[in-house]
Amino acid sequence: MTDTLDAAAYTDTAIARDERRLIFANNWALFGPEHELASPGDYVAQSVNGWPIVVLRDRDGALRAFHNVCRHRAAALFDEGAGACKAKITCPYHGWSYELDGRLALAPRFGEKLDPEEMGLLALRVEVWRGCIFVCVDPDTPDLLTWLGSVPAFCAPYPETPAFTYRGAFTVEGKANWKTYCDNTVEGYHLPFVHERLSQAVEGASVEIRGHDDHRLVCFHVGYRGDGAELRGDSGLWFYRYPGFQAVIGPTGFKAERIEPVGAGALRSKSWAWYGDDLGEQETADAFAWAEAIVHEDLGICEAVQRNLEAGAYNTGKLSPAMEEHTAAFQALVRQDLAQS
Ligand code: FES
Ligand SMILES: [Fe+2]
């Protein structure tokens, strides 16, 4: 039997700051679908784990990722959202401009010559897997494929993303620490209580949860009642890759989710979904709406937990060795990563 993390781990802003530095900077983060950046100049700007980031398609066809911050006095170069750059990236504050590869092009009326490389945009790493862009802040983290570990092998039986049609994205924000949500993500204990429709469709006895890659990967191998028709858009393998990447992949679709902290007491979950054409319009719409409903169900219970973690009566609880082995392993990873400071 293991004690849960202390309540302070879910409420303390200093711990949340350490987690960005010691956990989120060192891991790859799902950014979004690559097809949104089809042509040179196309860009998407959004905040990821607290870093405003832009990913764009350079003229040579390469993807580039930069911190969305001007090197002059830190203005945001892009509003959040998608668009197409003109020939250069121009800062809306004093008009500095940058090439699409990040080099400083012009600092108008500055009065002194600046080195274009030295004063270029701050780059991040960017790679693509199964039609999804990932970014990483830390230069020393292993490449994306190494970081994904066993994930590609588990996904190999299922169609590649271009075989599916992109359905869209949804974002859910909630007042809960990101760990409240991930504690919940890696256990099936709550399924019959929190997800009525999901637990009706799933054979309780055949949900097998396994940890891989030093428990940084948790896979749910789910058996469905009958032919699984209830869940066609969501059937297959569910997996969680520490700290903030979750996905469902199967013969009829692929859904990828980024879970990220927004300070100590809030999180954002953003999901992108693709479905096979054979699923039909109605089934696709239903699967998409249901996927969002599941996130809301999880977040609802997590917000109630968070309120109590903040209230002060509860400090630690106990994790079931039978039902919450993977939550215990997740919390051990957090403890281990935070101990690096
Ligand atoms: S902050 Fe960008 S030009 Fe001044
Ligand atoms: Fe859940």
Is residue 145 domain-resident?
no
Q: Which of 123, 156, 158, 161 is nearest to 139 (CA)?
A: 123
Instruction: Identify whether residues 131 and 204 lie together within a single domain.
Output: no
- What pTM was computed for the model? 0.95
Task: Say if residue 333's pLDDT is above 90.
Answer: yes
Residue 258: closest CA among 274, 273, 271, 241: 271
What digits encode the pLDDT tens for the residues 5-36?
Answer: 999 999 999 999 999 999 999 999 999 999 99
Residues 6+ apart with CB under 8 A from 230: 200, 201, 224
Boundary of a domain, candidates 92, 116, 140: 140
Q: Are residues 68 and 161 in the same domain?
A: no
**Residue 165 shares a structural domain with residue 288:** yes
106 and 241 share one domain? no
Looking at the structure, tell me whether residues 170 and 315 fall in a common domain. Answer: yes
The reply to whether 122 and 239 lie within a common domain is no
Higher pLDDT: 192 or 92? It is: 92
Do 212 and 300 sit in the same domain of this protein?
Answer: yes
Q: Which of 88, 121, 140 is the last residue of a domain?
A: 140
For the residues 89-107, what does the mean pLDDT come to? 98
Are residues 262 and 305 located together in one domain of the fold?
Answer: yes
Ion ligand 2 — residues with CB < 5 Å: 298
User: pLDDT tens digits for 63-94?
Assistant: 999 999 999 999 999 999 999 998 999 999 99
How many CB atoms sit inside 10 A of residue 167's CB? Answer: 19
Pocket test for ligand 1, best of 73, 77, 90 (most atoms within 8 A of CB): 73
User: Which atom of ligand 1 is the closest one to the Cα of 96?
Assistant: 3
Is 1 inside any structural domain? no
pLDDT interval class at 2 (50, 70, 90): very high
Q: Is residue 13 assigned to a domain?
A: no
Q: How far apart are CA 139 and CA 67, in angstroms?
A: 14
Question: Do 159 and 87 belong together in one domain?
Answer: no
Q: Is 253 helix (H, G, I), strand (E, B) or coil?
A: strand
Band (pLDDT 50/70/90 cuts) for residue 160 is very high
Please indicate, yes or no, whether residues 154 and 136 belong to a single structural domain of this protein: no
Residue 23 counted as domain residue: no
Distance (Å, whole) CA 142 – CA 119 = 27
Mean predicted confidence (pLDDT) in 293-311: 97
For residue 12, tell me if it sits in a domain.
no
Q: Which domain holds residue 34?
A: 28-140
What domain count does the chain have?
A: 2
CATH number at residue 62: 2.102.10.10
Domain membership of residue 306 (yes or no) is: yes
Q: Please list every protein residue whose CB sits less than 6 Å from any atom of ligand 1.
A: 70, 72-73, 75, 91, 93-96
Q: Is residue 288 part of a domain?
A: yes
Q: Do residues 122 and 181 share a domain? A: no
**pLDDT tens-digit map of 233-278:** 455 789 999 999 999 998 889 999 999 999 999 999 999 999 999 8
* Percent helix, percent strand, percent coil in the chain, to nearest 5: 30, 30, 40
Alpha carbon separation from 14 to 20, 182, 264 (Å, rounded): 10, 20, 8
pLDDT, the chain, mean: 94
The reported pLDDT for the residue numbered 198 is 79
- Quick one: 82 and 205 in the same domain? no
CATH of the domain at 257: 3.90.380.10
Collapsing DSSP states into helix, strand and coil, what is residue 23? Answer: helix
- pLDDT score for 263: 96
* Residue 284 falls inside a structural domain: yes
Task: Assess whether the previous peptide bond of 52 is cis (omega < 30° from 0).
Answer: no
Q: Please choose, from the candidates 97, 99, 85, the residue with its C-alpha nearest in 3D space to the C-alpha of residue 40.
A: 85
User: Where among 72, 107, 140 does a domain terminate?
Assistant: 140
Residue 149: what residue type?
G
Probe residue for ligand 1, chosen from 54, 69, 72 as the CB with the greatest number of ligand atoms within 8 Å: 72
